[in-house]
Structure 1
Amino acid sequence: MSRARRSFSPELLARLQGMPVKTALDLLGLYWKPDPDFKPVKNYETERLYVSIGGGVVELLVTGPKWYDSRTEKGGGGAIDLTMHLFRLDFVSAVKRLQSVLGQTA
């Protein structure tokens, strides 16, 4: 018995991949705040954000949809990678989580 493969629409994936980090954090319902004392070195648009999750704090360097967790030395781009990292989810679970909260706000 074969299962039909279901996939996510290219439009949804493109929307999530291009989503700014702050928008993704808001969408996921996470509390975050910028570091007012941070001075970017390479790109003047880069910000340092502190994100509260699971009783702890994650420090992210953010430029648009790109992010870097300076404590774990891991980074990525877009809402999918960010959701996978913060919630320790696989790709499909991360997209489904984002899709469910997008459905509530759309």
Structure 2
Amino acid sequence: MSDALDLLSAHVRPDTTYLPLKDDHSRRWHVCTARGEFEILATGVKWYDTRAQLGGGGAIDLAMHLLGLSFVDAVKHLVSKEGRHGPDHS
């Protein structure tokens, strides 16, 4: 999930003070996008926006939420960002 947050935000930082209650793999992230600031709890591919009290799963769903995009636009956004920031497969 940290990779997706990096692709979707202007600034992202983990909350190093967060202590998970239910799952030790859970992490809290402070995220800033053009639409505002978010506090996201993530466990694997599942995420929850603590301020909006809304959650989902996967990078596409997260892009739709953080950036206010349609499904198609979220996919296009992620593909274009991954192409610029992802590993070189040549």
Normalising by structure 2, we get a TM-score of 0.85
Give 1:92's aligned residue. Answer: 72
Q: What is the SS of the residue equivalent to 2:19?
A: coil
Structure 2 residue 33 is matched with structure 1 residue 53: yes
Structure 2 residue 65 is matched with structure 1 residue 82: no
What is the letter of the counterpart of residue 36 of structure 1?
Answer: T
Task: Tell me which of 70, 83, 87 is aligned to 2:50.
Answer: 70
* Mapping of residues 9-24 of structure 1, within 5 Å: 21-24=1-4
Identity, % of aligned positions: 48
Q: Which runs of 5+ in 1 are unaligned?
A: 1-20
Distance 1:76 1:98, change over 3 A: same
1:2-45 residue CA offsets vs partner (Å, 9 max, x unmatched): xxxxxxxxxxxxxxxxxxx2011122353111112211111011
Distance 1:28 1:56, change over 3 A: closer
Question: 1:48 and 1:65 mapped to 2: Cα distance?
Answer: 13
Distance 1:48 1:29, change over 3 A: closer
Name the one with the larger strand percent. Answer: 2
Count residues with an aligned counterpart: 86
Q: What is the SS of the residue equivalent to 2:79?
A: helix
Structure with higher Rg: it is 1
